[in-house]
């Protein structure tokens, strides 16, 4: 973090040449903002990652047709996912893109689309058309990251936005990121390929190949390492746009400049990923699952995900119960290799299980530690040299209340 200058009130409109705002068109009851527009003054090198769920929303299908295009804007609606809406849904998503291109007077094929909200309902295109015309006019004079962040939210309770500045060969470069996501969060993203939507902008000059390489690694260390409720959305999308207006020497190969850019990208992605988990529907605790010294990387990941996705573990955490037995049970059915008499389980640095035996003193201390808002469950398998981590949250009464009334 000391290598980056965090920008106050930063987000995707912080890098040079980017603007963002949000307005209401009536998709959400109560006049809440529900249309958001991200716009670059010039076309951008763009890399995207989309859900691997076999059921993909219409906007993703449209975006996948445009992966080779220079992208200049992204139009987003909340309140309706435009998913499982047939050919009409696809045509509606395409019309959203084409209308945005028309009103911004930018090239055909230079707009991508995102939608989030209820699945299975067709878009009210009369409202959408009004909203797109309105926001394309508004963005000429309005550049409001708070309005944008609000307009993409569904069950979120907090805005998730961040930007940092750093130097590449003496030239200041910025990366901004804004996201939404609180439920249906277990991203499974690949390049190319209640929802997680992530928008990342940079004014760095960087080639498409290097941009793709950087995002691939950043995803593997951030959004692909979070789980709220073990459900992968139909609409998950990550967009990374680079317009080059910082005018740094272009990054076209691996080296110090690329490493600096990648380090900053990983930093902002990890910070936003943690914000998403903290704002998980009904969540009260952010939990890092940290697996050490597994025999293989695959085994380390299997154990981490098994623990993070266990509803028994998650409810124990909500109940502030240091239930080491549930942790071991999740490890046991993960399919990973380990030897119980070598395993050490720590909660915020305190041993609660060690080499086949529960640690009564540590368990007593853990009763107090469990009251903290951020927890780390560290498991040393002592059988190899491979590590893996991810972030999850607890499972509360409120999660059930939210999802029993909110139509996905």
- Would you list which residues are annotated within the binding site? 154, 180, 195, 281, 403, 408
- Token pair for 192: 């190319």
State how far the Cα of 274 lies from the Cα of 160, in Å rounded to an integer.
10
Summarize the annotated binding site for substrate as residue ranges: 154, 180, 195, 281, 403, 408
Number of Cβ within 10 Å of residue 171's Cβ equals: 15
Question: Helices (DSSP H) in 114-176: which residue ranges?
Answer: 125-138, 145-151
Looking at the chain, how many residues does it have?
A: 408
**C-beta separation of 235 from 195 below 8 A:** yes
Q: How far is CA 80 from the centre of its chain?
A: 19
**C-beta separation of 213 from 253 below 8 A:** no
State how far the Cα of 42 lies from the Cα of 39, in Å rounded to an integer.
9
Rounded (5°) CA angle 346-347-349: 70
Question: Is 46 known to be catalytic?
Answer: no
User: Tokens 């903002």 map to which residue?
Assistant: 33
Contacts of 266 (CB under 8 A, 6+ apart): 217, 218, 221, 222
Nearest of 59, 27, 272 to residue 154 by alpha carbon? 27
Q: CA torsion sign, 167 to 269 to 200 to 133?
A: negative
**C-beta separation of 113 from 76 below 8 A:** yes
Strand partners, 189: 51
Q: How far is CA 155 from the centre of its chain?
A: 15
**Which residue among the candidates 195, 202, 234, 392 is catalytic per the annotation?**
195
Number of Cβ within 10 Å of residue 144's Cβ equals: 19
User: Tokens 């690329």 map to which residue?
Assistant: 258
**C-beta separation of 198 from 272 below 8 A:** yes
**Active-site residue list:** 195
């Amino acid at each position: 973090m000391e290598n980056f200058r965090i920008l106050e009130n930063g987000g995707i409109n912080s890098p040079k040449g980017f603007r963002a705002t949000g307005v209401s068109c009536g998709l959400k009851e109560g006049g809440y903002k529900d249309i958001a527009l991200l716009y670059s003054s010039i076309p951008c090198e763009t890399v995207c990652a989309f859900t691997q769920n076999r059921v993909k929303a219409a906007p993703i299908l449209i975006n996948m047709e445009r992966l080779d295009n220079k992208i200049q804007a992204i139009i987003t609606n909340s309140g309706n996912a435009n998913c499982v809406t047939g050919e009409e849904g696809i045509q509606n998503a395409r019309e959203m893109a084409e209308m945005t291109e028309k009103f911004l007077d930018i090239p055909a094929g230079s707009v991508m689309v995102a939608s989030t909200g209820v699945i299975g309902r067709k878009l009210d295109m009369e409202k959408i058309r009004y909203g797109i015309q309105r926001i394309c006019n508004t963005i000429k004079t309005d550049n409001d990251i708070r309005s944008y962040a609000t307009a993409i939210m569904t069950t979120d309770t907090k805005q998730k936005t961040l930007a940092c500045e750093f130097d590449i060969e003496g030239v200041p470069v910025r990366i901004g990121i804004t996201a939404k996501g609180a439920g249906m969060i277990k991203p499974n993203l690949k390049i190319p390929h209640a929802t997680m939507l992530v928008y990342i902008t940079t004014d760095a000059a960087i080639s498409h190949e290097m941009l793709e390489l950087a995002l691939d690694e950043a995803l593997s260390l951030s959004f692909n390492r979070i789980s709220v409720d073990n459900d992968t959305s139909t609409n998950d999308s990550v967009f990374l746009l680079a317009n080059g207006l910082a005018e740094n020497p272009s990054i076209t190969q691996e080296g110090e400049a690329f490493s600096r850019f990648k380090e900053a990208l990983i930093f902002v992605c990890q910070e936003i990923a943690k914000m998403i988990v903290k704002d998980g529907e009904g969540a009260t605790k952010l939990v890092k699952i940290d697996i050490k010294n597994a025999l293989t990387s695959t085994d380390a990941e299997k154990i981490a995900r098994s623990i993070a996705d266990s509803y028994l573990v998650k409810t124990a955490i909500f109940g502030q119960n240091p239930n080491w037995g549930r942790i071991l049970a999740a490890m046991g059915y993960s399919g990973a290799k380990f030897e119980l008499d070598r395993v050490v389980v720590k909660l915020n640095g305190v041993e609660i299980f060690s080499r086949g035996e529960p640690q009564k003193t540590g368990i007593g201390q853990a009763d107090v530690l469990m009251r903290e808002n951020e927890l780390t469950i560290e498991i040393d398998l002592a059988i190899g040299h491979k590590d893996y981590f991810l972030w999850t949250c607890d499972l509360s009464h409120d999660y059930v209340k939210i999802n029993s009334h909110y139509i996905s």
